Amino acid sequence: MPFGRLFRGRTPDPSPDREPEPPVPDEDAADNAEAEPDVPPEWDATGEDLERSWRARARDVIPGGSSTGSKRPEALYGDGNEGGPSHYTRAQGCHLTTAGEQTLIDCTMALGAVSIGYGDERVVRAAIAAAANGNVAGLAHTAEVELAERLCDLIPCGEQVRFMKSGAEAVSAAVRIARTATGRSRIVASGYFGWHDWSSASAGVPQGAKHDVTMVPFDDVAALEAACRSAGRDLAAVVLEPVVERLPSDGWIASARRLCDELGAVLVFDEMKTGFRLARGGFQELSGVTPDLGVFGKALANGFPLSAVLGKREVMEAAGRTWISSTLAGESMALAAAGAVLDIYEGEVDVCAELARIGAGIRSAVTAAVEASGVAGVTVLGLDPMWLVRFEDAGVERSFLEESVREGVLFKRGAYNYACLAHDDEETIIDIERAASSALVAVVRGHEA
């Protein structure tokens, strides 16, 4: 039967109006006893076989095996990995359960999209209540107005807001707004801004899409100055990811602000990772340098899909003179989730201070494991709330990540590992250190063999 895999092992509930009918004997059962079951191959498998089967099924129907590039197996573990878990079925707090029923402590926290914890009851309850009242309709929901007002109160540059669903489209919207506001085309940028054509070097992007964009290295004041001077009075915006593995120099941010003011350009901070993590208002709150536009998301809604472009009124009003629109930008589940997140951040606990404290504990634990192992070419870098392990040898990195998963911890390959409130447990941090230590010991033994 073509739908056998959906119903194998499930018995329909009997009708309340009649007794259930007795099962009808299958006359062909004996003939088909040795036939292949009409279910996926992983149905009766366990452990690593089950993980591999889900990976194979995913690759068959999803290019790369995941719709999120950073969750592809080669992105998770590195080239050459064949068996690490690639899919999960449940996530709660700081733990996830893989398709093979292994429970892992998650240090990636969904690429930084979750700062409180997976499945937080307060956030989920708000989202479910919104869904129960209809999360979309032919009019905009009042929650869109309420959340916009709250964000304008919290974030230094906030005077008006537009909501989107992802960081990539939100930064693209900020670029469109800046170009509309200034009537100019040139962009100077530094950082990673997602997959959209204006900033991507990927295949399929025509050269013309980036003709007016100049990328400069992070924290290189001279390169920033030269690029902005070259653009001159055609400079529409300077778009910066303000933190890249470390805090920038004061001169970097100050120069960006000065050049934009001098040339009449728009300063944009991509606060997708830094917002509601380093501070509620992101890096701009920490630095005291206020951009004209800011882009927020990820931790804003604790894993629900929501991003926001917000900024000074005279710049944001340009959004009304161009076309920036998304059918589900204002759906109420994500808005309600973000409202619950703001309630938590505005509560008695300083969430960002807690993330720094918890992250410092995890980072110290992993650093201790690295130092004790004696493995060369391994360094723990970054900031306490968002840190990473840098490997000089890709093979050592892959082995470490694979062995860590076997020991019960999922670390991020590259930037970043993120702290969340749910990590705040002594046993959890001990388990993270034990997993890192055991993984490094296995790496050493593997190289000695």
* Cα Rg of the chain (Å, integer): 25
| b (16+ CB within 10 A) / e for 119-152 | bbeebbebbeebeeeebeeeeebebbeebbebbb
221 CB burial (10 A radius; 0-12, 13-18, 19+): middle
What is the residue whose two structure tokens read 């630095």? 287
User: CA–CA separation, 195 vs 146, rounded Å?
Assistant: 30
Largest CA distance in the chain: 85
Of 300, 255, 267, nearest to 155 by C-alpha is 300
pLDDT score, position 45: 55
8 Å CB contact between 404 and 436:
yes
Q: What's the length of the chain? A: 449
**Tokens matching residue 152:** 């304008």
Q: Is 216 helix (H, G, I), strand (E, B) or coil?
A: coil
Residue partners of 302: CB distance under 8 A and separation at least 6: 113, 114, 115, 116, 117, 120, 123, 337, 340, 341
8 Å CB contact between 172 and 256:
no
Render each residue's pLDDT in the chain as its tens digit; 449 residues: 333 333 333 344 444 444 444 444 454 444 444 444 444 554 445 578 899 999 999 999 999 999 999 999 999 999 999 889 999 999 999 999 999 999 999 999 999 999 999 999 999 999 999 999 999 999 999 999 999 999 999 999 999 999 999 999 999 999 999 999 999 999 999 999 999 999 999 999 998 999 999 999 999 999 999 999 999 999 999 999 999 999 999 999 999 999 999 999 999 999 999 999 999 999 999 999 999 999 999 999 999 999 999 999 999 999 999 999 999 999 999 999 999 999 999 998 999 999 999 999 999 999 999 999 999 999 999 999 999 999 999 999 999 999 999 999 999 999 999 999 999 999 999 999 999 999 999 999 987 76
Helix (H) or strand (E) holding 423: none
Residue partners of 337: CB distance under 8 A and separation at least 6: 123, 124, 126, 127, 130, 301, 302, 303, 304, 306
Q: Is 356 helix (H, G, I), strand (E, B) or coil?
A: helix
Q: Which domains does the chain have, with CATH numbers?
A: 63-117+350-448 (3.90.1150.10), 121-345 (3.40.640.10)
User: CA–CA separation, 362 vs 9, rounded Å?
Assistant: 42
Bridge partners of 390, per DSSP, are 379
pLDDT score, position 7: 31
8 Å CB contact between 309 and 175:
no
Helix (H) or strand (E) holding 50: helix 47-61
Measure the CA angle with vertex 96, ends 92 and 102; round to 5°. 135
Helix (H) or strand (E) holding 391: strand 386-391
pLDDT score, position 40: 52
pLDDT score, position 446: 83
**What are the φ and ψ backbone dihedral angles of 407, each rounded to 5 degrees?**
-90, 0
Q: Express each pLDDT in 392-438 by its tens digit.
A: 999 999 999 999 999 999 999 999 999 999 999 999 999 999 999 99
Of 285, 341, 317, 305, nearest to 167 by C-alpha is 305
